[in-house]
Amino acid sequence: MNTAVAGRRLPTEAGATAHGLGVIRILGIDPGSQRTGVGIIDVDPNGRLTHVCHTALAVAGEASFALRLKRIFDELGALLELHHPDECGIEQVFMARNPDSALKLGQARGAAICAAVSHGLDVHEYAATEVKRAVVGSGRGDKTQVQHMVGILLGLKGPLQPDAADALAIAIAHAHTRAGLARAGIPRAAWRRRR
DSSP 97: S
| Parallel, antiparallel or unpaired: strands 24-30 and 87-91 | parallel
Distance separating alpha carbons of residues 133 and 64, to the nearest angstrom: 36
What's the CA gap between 14 and 81, in Å, rounded?
Answer: 23
87-91 sheet: strands from edge to edge: 49-58, 35-43, 24-30, 87-91, 123-126
Which residues are the active-site residues?
30, 91, 163
CA 28 to chain centre: 1
Amino acid at 155: G
